[in-house]
Structure 1
């Protein structure tokens, strides 16, 4: 006789945020079909309500015990909840800043909001992935949404070119990731990350197949993060995509990618840390160097911020390389605050270009202080925080990561990161110089909706407050990773 099969019903309460977002995305898709162009604000409002509802559903279950459901494929825990809240907040701000941008350029269509919600769903699945299967499904849902968003302005050849590059290289990275998953599955016989973790601890014999699988996994994950030498898509996509899409690509997906690193490498393959740690060190060293040095030569502000992103990915990797609770919490804090800073930076770029042509070059921001002192001050805060100037949150984020790797004896790596951060401060200061000391030919002040002004102002003030009092958010990160 065969072994009787028992059916364990899934815990639908744990996946209510995902179910809600999926249901609302489908509803928005149907409702938008019946709306006229001038009624597109209804679609925008429904998307914001969706993010608010998902936020409330996530907060209701926060602080409860870790739950693994759907036959071990889905996990709900404190780390996932914190990152999901960060995703909701970031995407809500992205959609707010994007609204008037899309209207001004005649591309305010409902598909943008539907793709944005589907991308959020993909990120949520990635954050709560407890197996390679759900991790890959979430990653592909996010990636397909991003490919379409990058090509959203169909009549723009530059957007189409960027989307094609992104799609081809993304397909290659997905293949690498699948190949690595197949090797790990062939070794352990399971896709469940908890089972894989146990097998990795038991088989620390240095056999070739698991090591190769880890190598392919790291390659696929490094592409999604934009780490050197798998960064070639990032500057082209940042520059070629509409600025509102660049804002989307450069913000919340970084939180999902961080979660994927934690789920797969730390929780699933922690027993093979000696294998992936060396790979991450190489990626981090190259990313910090290439990002900071090449950014100096950029005149296009979106390409400059793309290389800036690459350097910050290197810092996030440093926290994971440390392999300690302090390192993981520092990396999580860094990712959350970096996303907040990025949203604010691109928000100012979008607002500054609304009265005329697109803000493409750094010189397009010249004289911003004469036109709008408040927005110039906010951009100053964003740039100084990203550069790691003391008393802003970017400084504390860098300091926490550096302390984590110093505490495990990697002093040389910390010194290297500090030196290159000083080098990288040049291109942030150049933006400040252009805003405050160069004269603008345009004296028209920046106009923005009241809600946009409130949110962008709150964004800048939060960066200052978190720089002065970072312990609250850091405490949340520490407790979430316990």
Structure 2
């Protein structure tokens, strides 16, 4: 009997295969390690990330677009660039989290090294999402990531607040997954395919059931909006960010945003690109509401994790602006231009990367100030940080300036790139609105700076943190300034990746 199923090309997926084997091996090895040797698990997890980075860097250097597994998986410049930053985000998170997790018993007793292993499996889900070229594979990656993150939020089973946050996240996450699945099923019914390329061809030919397709689009956008945490699907963000252990909050707020952005690009800019005028209006509403509610509500927060959660909502509003500015045609705007499309999507990618790098440092510094039995989650906990540690006060100031969009930090260039793309489409009113809300948002970022430099310290004890954490925090702060002063290489790389993957 002949084999009708040809062996798929495994080379593009070597990073995922390697990670799956490595994570499983680390889980088995960890079972035989005593609590005193838990650092072995930590080092093995970092080595697994380095191994993945090597495979992905080779693919990225080739610049090729390769499809495999019956077109369900794609390795292209977008996927490889986002994966490299995903490895970086997870690796930095593990470095920042090690002491925090140890002090809170998250690496001892029955838990062991599950924190590291589940984080790796969550990253595996993110990698599958980033390279998904079929609605089914994207959904499988999404669920692998989501289930891992649910478990991580609830990792401290004796902590009532974390357990409550996990329940909220799980219930609302299940609802969002239902929205997404329902939308996928309607799109499948209208087009007869789950393959993104086939869906685009059917829609372009005009043979799809338009009414069913539009209903499916609404549900898909709702599911994507939840994963990005934009209004009105933002209810889980502040509660989960505040309730989860800070190490887990960083795993939630960092790398998953890269994966969520990837599936927005895959589904909307690739599969549903011929319905651009429909989803552009939806993203416009999501963007404006997120900028308004995120920035205005953050002003009232005294818990810095909750403040950064509302900040995230506003930041994702900017990402939505970049996505809607790159649509195939803009009502009332100039004719479509492929270079403008690549610039808009590339600017949005650069913005997401900027947000992730800044978020890593912000939550990392919160963990640095925390100690056993004490969570540095209130704004008052940052009082007088400049006297306790001038250098790390400078780093936090850089991070806040970047989030606010103050030059020369990286965030200024990111905001400028997105706003430039919006103005190019002729929607100047939208850019002006975004600038106004950004000015409002600058208040709560600068308030953190004021508290650090001008308020009297309520705790004068020295900051104690591992050397690797201190070094990485310093590199994090310097990188934000460096990439702000010399943004050309990364921004050009993002635009080039979009141009090669989407436009060509």
TM-score (norm 2): 0.94
For residue 96 of structure 1, what is the aligned residue in structure 2?
A: 95
**1:201-222 deviations in Å (ceiling 9; x for gaps):** 1228882100000000000000
Residue equivalent to 2:465: 448
Name the structure 2 match of 1:385.
402
Match of 2:349 in 1: 332
Q: How far has the Cα of 1:356 moved from its partner?
A: 6.0
- 1:478 offset after TM fit, Å? 1.2
Residues 5/186 of structure 1: CA separation in 2 closer, same or farther (3 Å cut)? farther
Q: Secondary structure at the match of 1:256?
A: helix
**Which one of the candidate residues 294, 298, 303 is aligned to 2:297?**
294
Shift of 1:6: 4.2
Paired residue total? 479
Alpha-carbon contact 2:202-2:208 (below 8 Å) kept: no
Offset at residue 424 of structure 1 (A): 0.4
**1:355 to partner: Cα distance:** 6.6
1:87-126 map, 5 Å: 87-108=86-107, 109-126=112-129
- Aligned-residue offset at 1:269: 0.4
Runs of 4+ in structure 1 displaced over 6 angstroms? none
> How do 1:71-470 and structure 2 match up within 5 A?
71-108=70-107, 109-203=112-206, 207-323=210-326, 324-354=341-371, 357-470=374-487
Given that 1:320 and 1:331 are in contact with CA atoms closer than 8 Å, whether structure 2 keeps it comes out as: yes
1:62 is displaced (CA, Å) by 1.5
CA distance in 2, matches of 1:368, 1:276: 45
- TM-score, scaled to structure 1: 0.98
Q: Distance between the aligned counterparts of 1:225 and 1:5, measured in 2?
A: 42
**Distance of 2:240 and 2:103 partners within structure 1:** 21
1:68 counterpart SS class: strand
The worse-fitting range, judged by mean Cα deviation, of 198-207 and 188-197 is 198-207
SS at match of 2:74: strand
Equivalent residue of 1:444, what SS?
coil
Structure 2's unaligned 5+ residue stretches are 327-340, 500-504
Give the whole-Å Cα distance in 2 for the aligned partners of 1:5 and 1:90.
42
Deviating more after overlay: 354-363 vs 242-251: 354-363
Shift of residue 362 of structure 1? 0.5
**SS across alignment from 2:61:** coil
Deviation string, structure 1 residues 50-90 (Cα, Å, up to 9, x no partner): 00000011111223320000011000001100000000001
Say if 1:205 and 1:10 are closer, same or farther in 2 by CA, change over 3 A: closer
Query: Hey, what's the Cα distance between the residues in 2 that align with 1:247 and 1:335?
Result: 15
**3-state SS, counterpart of residue 439 of structure 1:** coil
**Secondary structure of 1:14's aligned partner:** helix
Aligned counterparts of 2:187 and 2:39: Cα–Cα separation in 1 = 47
RMSD of aligned alpha carbons: 1.2
Matched position secondary structure for 2:317: helix
Gaps of 5+ in 1: none
Please give the secondary structure, in 1, of the residue aligned with 2:11: coil
Structure 1 residue corresponding to 2:54, chosen from 53, 56, 60: 56
